[in-house]
Structure 1
Amino acid sequence: MSRLTHEHAAKRALVVMAHPSLNSLTRSVSKAIVNALTVHGIESELADLAAEGFDPVFGPSDRAAFTGNGSPPDDVRAEQQRIDGVGHLVLVYPVYWWSMPALLKGWIDRVFISGWAFDADTEQGLVKKLSWLEVHLIALGGADAATYAKRGYHHAMQAQIDQGIFGYCGAVVTTSELVTTDQADLALIPASAAQAIINSLP
């Protein structure tokens, strides 16, 4: 698989957002991150999954590709190529039922498949194939911070997403922020979230 050199890829980022509203906080945060990364010298692309009409349904062709009995569908391959060309993957999403929206989870289900994100080798065991990728997670929660802390929801999300998805594939999660709307003025959240990512960069 052809991927850009680490030096070149490190200067590029893909910011992925999953929210249908044009006036959402998710969109404002995503745009602020793109702008901040660009100022920081990292060329950034915004992938708006809802606007682009990405199909999150893991269907028969996806199953065939996952099991090595077929090639990934064209839309999946296009997303993999997007990620192949960057050193930073940023996911911005509202928290739905203590996780990410189905649109974003379906994107991961279809794109991060065996043969591209990892391999199960009979001799080597699990082969993690995304060790070159830095992941930045910005989750926007509607409940207050005390609720997430009381029930352990934030830790559960980190176990499921940070470790269970990206750790499994070998990607390094360098930013993992849960932003709750009770923490600050809503108008300040986009800049604050963008700064959290900038602070994690070398």
Structure 2
Amino acid sequence: MNHLIVYAHPNPESFNYAILNTTVASLEEQGHHVVVRDLYKLNFNPILSGQDFETFQKGETPADIKAEQEYITNADVVTFIYPIWWTGLPAVLKGYVDRVFAYGYAYAYGEDGTMQRLLSGKKGFMINTHGTPKEVYDEIGMTQSLKQTSDTGIFEFVGIEPVGHLLFGGVPQVDDAARKEMLVEVQQTVKELF
């Protein structure tokens, strides 16, 4: 299978980076082809501009958006790896979704007003970290809300089938042994899903 991993964390020594490396290694061990788009390393422009809209209205796509869309088109599985900041996506990843999952590429409306999910046939997987203890997010309903806004609001909206979502809480407060257990869970989940 062809896997696209969209990664969004600015610190190359972060736990998210360890998750990325574990995910890539687990997939490659099973013979999958993996492409990583590290949005911070790429200095991806997250701002959906008026010029973008003008270009779209001419029936064209800005080059940087077109390049990312080609990675998605070629992928069987799209995985997002990112930290939860302020109960949402980092700005660079939100901007990636805004610009790349564009109308006419990722979704459209038919003449009768029905929704067309243009990325159907692909699978989606998410891995997140957050500083709040998992039990707190579970108790207040935030865990379910995060899954709904990303799995349903992003992936399902464009036809990508969510097949898994790992959320690791309290990451800055736990010890290395707990983080290693989290990485084992990433490895096992990846092998079970793909």
Does residue 78 (structure 1) correspond to residue 67 (structure 2)? The answer is yes
Whichever residue aligns with residue 142 of structure 1, its letter is: G
Deviations 1:20-68 (A, max 9, x none): 11101111101110110011111111111101110101111322355x4
Cα gap change, 1:194 to 1:71, in 2 (>3 Å): farther
**Cα-Cα RMSD:** 1.7
The total of aligned residue pairs comes to 190
Which of residues 109, 122, 129 in structure 1 aligns to 2:98? 109
Which of residues 129, 133, 137 in structure 1 aligns to 2:118? 129
Range 85-94 or range 190-199, more displaced = 190-199
Q: TM-score, normalised by structure 2?
A: 0.92
> What is the deviation of 1:193?
1.5
CA distance in 1, matches of 2:113, 2:160: 18
Q: TM-score, normalised by structure 1?
A: 0.88
Equivalences for residues 122-161 of structure 1 within 5 A: 122-123=111-112, 125-161=114-150
Cα gap change, 1:154 to 1:65, in 2 (>3 Å): farther
> What is the deviation of 1:123?
2.0
Deviations 1:86-123 (A, max 9, x none): 10111100010111111111101100011110111122
Does residue 44 (structure 1) correspond to residue 30 (structure 2)? The answer is no
CA distance in 1, matches of 2:31, 2:118: 26
Contact 1:26 1:92 in 2 (8 A): yes
Contact 1:18 1:92 in 2 (8 A): yes
Moved over 3 A (4+): none
Cα gap change, 1:176 to 1:65, in 2 (>3 Å): farther
Whichever residue aligns with residue 117 of structure 1, its letter is: A
Equivalences for residues 21-40 of structure 1 within 5 A: 21-40=11-30
What is the percent sequence identity of the aligned residues? 26
> What is the deviation of 1:124?
5.5
5+ long unaligned stretches in structure 1 = 1-10
CA distance in 2, matches of 1:189, 1:65: 43
- Other structure's SS at 2:40 match: helix
> What is the deviation of 1:188?
3.1
Whichever residue aligns with residue 135 of structure 1, its letter is: G
Contact 1:136 1:197 in 2 (8 A): no
Does residue 92 (structure 1) correspond to residue 63 (structure 2)? The answer is no
Task: Give the equivalent residue in structure 2 for 1:61.
Answer: 51
5+ long unaligned stretches in structure 2 = none
Which of residues 145, 168, 173 in structure 1 aligns to 2:157? 168
